[in-house]
């Protein structure tokens, strides 16, 4: 039975029939990457807060094919189709890319929004074959807008696709920073175990030695949970809040995951981000978060120099920040669509 999430706390299998314009959100993850879960949570919060006119309906990527068929039965011209944002457009995650293609190539008469993504098609024969499939599928939809969440992706999307491209931050940065007022202790290493990992194990050991003063607890984790099998729109907010709470207790986060930096930004937690295989965290940091005092990105590998950076971050002063206005291009697009319906 497909799960259409009509309400945040209730999964249903029948789509609603009423006159309200619908916002169909495809590509919703059920896997346990909390970064991706936070993206789909923030997207829902964004549309529900900024455009309450819409009934927001999430369709799990697991149910992509059945979801497409069900939506086809009830969709009208006032409705918007979207596919979830994140860092998985391209040839590295073909399951997501293939679900995305189907959605874009199906609803070619509706305003279609690809929520903020970073993109990477490999220069291999396989990567270029995947690219061609995406060009073909995206190219069929004249009402498709791609949103890039960093400058590198913006350039790449405009270079390889004919579709219009907008520029906003990652959706999770729409969420407001929170001050938990916890007493902080310990350092948390949030590290990838996937194909995008490039930080050397030696460097990680050196960083642990740097932060280990004999008293400070050094823990390691990943923002991809292995304590649960599955996360859905019904369970994600609680797990997300739990993760923010975990971050807000730390003195320092060392990570190679972009969303671990975002969670650090939102909780005022000092954080040093290292690179992944194609620079998505670096570019997003420099475009949107460079002005946030307590976080930094680095390509440095000399522990002595990294010590200075960590010491600076750990005593940095907190300040307000707000990326709400940076979603202006997305806001204008949806507002223009609403205007044409009047």
- Per CB under 8 A, residues contacting a second copy are 150-152, 154-155, 158-159, 164-165, 167, 279, 282-283, 286-288, 290-291, 322-323, 325-326, 328-329, 332
Q: Which is nearer to a second copy, 136 or 290 (CB)?
A: 290
The least distance separating a second copy from the CB of residue 290, rounded to whole angstroms, comes to: 7
Q: Which is nearer to a second copy, 78 or 158 (CB)?
A: 158
Strand-strand pairing, 55-60 and 4-7? antiparallel
Q: Which is nearer to a second copy, 183 or 291 (CB)?
A: 291
Q: Which is nearer to a second copy, 109 or 301 (CB)?
A: 301
Q: Which is nearer to a second copy, 168 or 250 (CB)?
A: 168
Query: Coil, strand, or helix at residue 287?
Result: helix
The least distance separating a second copy from the CB of residue 100, rounded to whole angstroms, comes to: 21
- 10 has which bridge partners? 7
The least distance separating a second copy from the CB of residue 153, rounded to whole angstroms, comes to: 10
Q: Do residues 224 and 32 make contact, with C-beta atoms less than 8 angstroms apart?
A: yes
Looking at residue 325, what DSSP letter applies? G
Tell me the C-alpha distance between 90 and 146, whole Å.
Answer: 13
Tokens of 331: 């806001």
Q: In what order do the strands lie in the sheet with 187-190?
A: 218-221, 187-190, 252-255, 271-273, 295-297
Alpha helices, DSSP H only, in 77-200? Answer: 94-106, 125-139, 151-160
The least distance separating a second copy from the CB of residue 310, rounded to whole angstroms, comes to: 18
Q: Which is nearer to a second copy, 49 or 228 (CB)?
A: 49
Torsion of CA 83, 86, 92, 93, to 10 degrees: -50
The least distance separating a second copy from the CB of residue 329, rounded to whole angstroms, comes to: 8
Tell me the C-alpha distance between 199 and 190, whole Å.
Answer: 12
The least distance separating a second copy from the CB of residue 171, rounded to whole angstroms, comes to: 16
Query: Coil, strand, or helix at residue 38?
Result: helix
């Amino acid at each position: 039975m497909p799960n259409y999430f009509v309400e945040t706390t209730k999964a249903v299998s029948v789509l609603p029939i009423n006159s309200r314009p619908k916002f169909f959100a495809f590509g919703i993850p059920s896997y346990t990457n909390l970064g991706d879960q936070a993206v789909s949570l923030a997207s829902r919060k964004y549309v529900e807060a900024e455009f309450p006119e819409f009934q927001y309906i999430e369709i799990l990527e697991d149910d992509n094919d059945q979801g497409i068929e069900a939506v086809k039965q009830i969709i009208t011209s006032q409705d918007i189709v979207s596919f979830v944002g994140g860092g998985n457009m391209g040839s590295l995650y073909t399951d997501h890319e293939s679900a995305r293609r189907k959605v874009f190539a199906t609803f070619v008469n509706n305003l279609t929004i690809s929520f903020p993504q970073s993109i990477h098609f490999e220069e291999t024969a396989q990567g270029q074959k995947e690219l061609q499939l995406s060009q073909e599928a995206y190219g069929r939809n004249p009402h498709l807008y791609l949103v890039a969440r960093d400058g590198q992706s913006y350039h790449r999307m405009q270079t390889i696709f004919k579709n219009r491209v907008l520029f906003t931050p990652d959706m999770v940065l729409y969420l407001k920073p929170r001050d938990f007022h916890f007493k902080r202790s310990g350092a948390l290493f949030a590290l990838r175990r996937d194909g995008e990992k490039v930080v050397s194990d030696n460097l990680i050991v050196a960083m642990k030695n740097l932060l280990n003063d004999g008293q400070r607890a050094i823990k390691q984790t990943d923002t991809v949970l292995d304590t649960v099998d599955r996360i859905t729109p019904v369970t994600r907010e609680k797990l997300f809040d739990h993760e923010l709470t975990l971050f807000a207790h730390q003195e320092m986060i060392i990570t190679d995951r972009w969303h671990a930096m975002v969670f650090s930004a939102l909780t005022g937690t000092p954080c040093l981000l290292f690179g992944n295989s194609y620079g998505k965290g670096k570019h997003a940091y420099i475009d949107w978060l460079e002005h946030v005092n307590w976080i930094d990105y680095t390509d440095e590998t000399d522990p002595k120099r990294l010590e200075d950076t960590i010491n600076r971050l750990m005593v940095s002063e907190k300040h307000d920040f707000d990326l709400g206005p940076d979603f202006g291009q997305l806001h204008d697009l949806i507002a223009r669509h609403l205007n044409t319906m009047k």
